[in-house]
Amino acid sequence: MPELPEVETVRAALAPKVAGLAITGLEFTWPKAVHGTTAEAMKNEVVGRHITGLGRRGKFLLFRLDNGKTLAVHLKMSGALLWMERGCRSNQPYIRTVIYLDKGCIEFRDPRKFGGLWLAESEDDFLAKLGPEPLEKIFTSQVLAGILRKHSAPVKPVLLDQTVLAGMGNMYTDEALFEARIHPMKKARDLGDEEIRRLLRAIRLVLRRGIEAGGASVSTYIRPDGSKGNSQDQFKVAHKRGGSCPRCGLPLQYLKIRGRGTVFCPKCQRL
């Protein structure tokens, strides 16, 4: 699943290309990709508008329009946005939506059909339920402590809750907990001050490392130019089921926590 590093990679690649361009058309080969309105209504609101900028909040990509509205895109499990400078469309399969621009176009590729598009009248209202951004300076260990101590659930699913912390997903949460030496089943409210400081540092480390590597291509994720990311080459536990701990050499363990596959080291991350 594309997580914060993958979505930020897409934003950084597309932002300089689309800023100032006009949307000249929308084509939906899978109309159910549109949420909160109809495909026809979205076309009427979006076509003819100029893109003033491309932002990101959590896992949402935010195409900001010159009428104050925002076209939000979520890649969900298998989505990717592909940039076509010329010759729309590509020969890629699973293209569900095409955003035509006065220079080039963007294709929304989504094999599993879980991704979607929303038209937000107010960006603040649309994103109101999301938790804080983990890479922002105002997100301190004190803020994280205040959040975690409200929850008796295991720390892994708490970090995956987008209303708690925006942008974290299964891969980078496993990596952060390993870096911080925290067992994924430890109750969030039981983490000590030093553990929380280590966790915050680890979250920032793995997210920044993921962004620098262009995201992780472990399944269907590709960057807007069609190339793969390299973050998966740096993973120490994520997607390493059956492997050994790079720190102590013991076999890594796998379990499901609230339905999410989790890989960790039983020695380095003691419960």
Active site residues: 2-3, 59, 260
* CB burial readout 131-166, b (16+ within 10 A) else e: bbbbeeeebebebbbebbeebebbbbbbbbeeebbb
Rounded Cα distance between 103 and 67, Å, is 20
Q: At what angle do helices 193-212 and 170-180 cross, to 10 degrees?
A: 130
Compute φ and ψ for 231, nearest 5 degrees.
-60, -30
Dist. CA 41–CA 48, nearest whole Å: 13
Are 174 and 185 within 8 A, CB to CB? no
CA distance 28 to 5: 27
Comparing CA positions, the residue from 50, 83, 85, 94 lying closest to residue 69 is 50
- Cβ atoms 64, 206 nearer than 8 A: no
